[in-house]
Amino acid sequence: MKPIEGPLNRVAQSIDGAQMFGQVERWAGINSGTGNLDGLREVAGQLSDAFSALPGNITLEEPGPVTQVSAEGQEVEVEYGKHLVCCVRPEAERRFVLTGHMDTVFPADHPFQALTWLDDEVLNGPGTADMKGGIAVMLHALKALEGLSAWQKVGYDVMINADEETGSLSSAPLIERLAKGKYAALTYEPAATPEGTLAHARGGSGNYSLTVKGKSAHAGRNPREGRNAIVAAAVLAVRLKDLQRDDISVNPARIEGGAANNVVPDHAVLRFNIRPKEPAAAEWFASEMNALLGEVRQAHEVDIHVHGGITRPPKPVDRRAQKLFDIVRECGAQLGQDIDWQSTGGVCDGNNIAATGVPVVDTMGVRGGKIHSPDEFMIAPSLVERAQLSTLVLHRLATGDAL
Ligand SMILES: [Zn+2]
C-alpha cells in the first residue's frame, strides 16, 4: 500500500463526519418524492446553501418539457422540480462532472418518512442512501479538495437533478450538455452492495406507450365495421414479448382502454419496458418494432402512435472507463478499502453520461442498502470513508496521466 502524500492526507483526514451526518439528517428529513415540487424546492434551497461552500456559481435550471400518455391516449405535460447546477472554474482545461439527485421514490403521502437508528452505525430513512448521503459525500470531497493548489487548476460542474427516480426525462438534455467534453464523471448513487461494491456495466432501459386507435361499432349489429383496438394492442403485446432475446428483455406491462361489452373498442394504450444489454440490441429492437407496427396497422386497420423510447442507453465499460474503475480501486487500496465491482441490470444517470463518451463511475455514494423500500438504510461511517475515496480519486484525475 502506497502511503498518501502529506497535504492530500491532511485534507482527507479533515473531512468532518459530524457535519456530513447533520446535513444528511436535515435533507432526508424533508420529503422530496419526484412529484413533491414543494419538498424539492425546499431541498434545492438547502443544497444551494450547502454547495455555496464551493467557489462556484449556483443556478437552478428549469426542467425540460416532458409529456406522458394518459389512459385515454392523450399526451399530457408532466411537471418536475428544478435541477441544481454548480459551475466551478469553467475556464479550466481539465473539467469533471459530478452528479447526484435530490428526489426520492417516496411521495409526500407515503408512510415511510422518518429516520430511525437500527444500531450505532445504521440509519434507516427515506433517501438516506439513495442518495442524500451520496450528495454529502460529493460535497465534502470537493470541499476538501478546494484546499489543495493542484486541484485549483481543474474545474467541474455539479448537477443535482430532481427527476432521476422517474428516469431523468426533464434533466436528460442538461446531463448531456454538462457531460459533453468533460474529462471524467462521478455519480453518487449508493454502492451496489452494503460492502461497497461498484456497479460496472449497466444495461439500458426504454419505456413506451403505444396508442392504438381503431373504430367503434355495435358488437351485435355491425361488428364487421369495427376495428378492435384492444385486440390490436393484445397482438402487439404478444408479438413484442416474442422479440425478447438474451441481449434484450421486453416487458408488456399494461393495456388500458376498451369500452362496454357490446361495443367494439376504438382505443387502447399498451405500455411496455425494454432492457437492452448492448446498443446493438437496442437498434435491432427499434427496427423489429417498426416492422411489427407496420404489420399490425395493416392487418388490423388501426392507427398506432408511438410515445417514448430509450431514455437510459446501455452503459458498456470501454477502455477509458475501465481505467477509471482501476483508479478507484487503487485509491481505495491506499485507504485500506477493498473496492470491487459487478454488472447490474439497474439504470441511472451514469447511463446517460456514458452515452456522451465520458468515462464514469456511478456508484461513488455511501454504503447502504434496501433502497426504494421502507427498509432503506445508510451505513453512517461510510460517509467519511467514501468522501475520502472520492477525494483521492478526484485528486488523481486532476494530477495524473490522461485516462
Ligand atoms: Zn438513486
Ligand 1 midpoint to CA 47 (Å): 16
Ligand 1 midpoint to CA 345 (Å): 14
pLDDT digits (tens, 9 = 90+) for 221-269: 999 999 999 999 999 999 999 999 999 999 999 999 999 999 999 999 9
Q: Round to the nearest angstrom and report the end-to-end CA distance of the chain.
A: 22
* Number of C-beta neighbours around residue 267 at 10 A: 22
**pLDDT band of 2, cuts 50, 70, 90:** low
**pLDDT band of 5, cuts 50, 70, 90:** confident
Ligand 1 midpoint to CA 348 (Å): 7
Mean pLDDT of the chain: 97
Ligand 1 midpoint to CA 150 (Å): 31
Ligand 1 midpoint to CA 128 (Å): 10
Backbone CA torsion sign across 285, 280, 248, 311: negative
Backbone CA torsion sign across 365, 366, 368, 374: negative
DSSP codes, 125-151:
-TTIIIIIHHHHHHHHHHHHHTT-TTG
pLDDT digits (tens, 9 = 90+) for 262-300: 999 999 999 999 999 999 999 999 999 999 999 999 999
pLDDT confidence of residue 11: 93
pLDDT digits (tens, 9 = 90+) for 24-36: 999 999 999 999 9
pLDDT digits (tens, 9 = 90+) for 109-126: 999 999 999 999 999 999
* Buried-exposed string 306-339: b where 16+ CB fall within 10 A, e elsewhere: ebbebbbbbbbbeeebebbbebbbebbebbebeb
Residues 6+ apart with CB under 8 A from 361: 185, 186, 187, 198, 321, 324, 325, 328, 350, 393
Ligand 1 midpoint to CA 131 (Å): 5
Burial class for 46, CB neighbours closer than 10 Å (0-12, 13-18, 19+): middle
Rounded CA-CA distance 9/55 in Å is 22
Residue 345 has pLDDT above 90, yes or no: no
Rounded CA-CA distance 276/26 in Å is 38
Ligand 1 midpoint to CA 165 (Å): 6
pLDDT digits (tens, 9 = 90+) for 61-103: 999 999 999 999 999 999 999 999 999 999 999 999 999 999 9
Q: Which three cell numbers stand for residue 233?
A: 394492442
In the chain, pLDDT over 70 holds for what percent of residues?
100
DSSP codes, 166-221:
GT-TTTHHHHHHHHTT-SEEEEBPPPSSTT-PEEEEE--EEEEEEEEE-B-EETTT
Ligand 1 midpoint to CA 221 (Å): 54
Rounded CA-CA distance 377/370 in Å is 7
**How far from chain centre, in Å, is Cα 202?**
12
pLDDT confidence of residue 401: 80
pLDDT digits (tens, 9 = 90+) for 136-157: 999 999 999 999 999 999 999 9
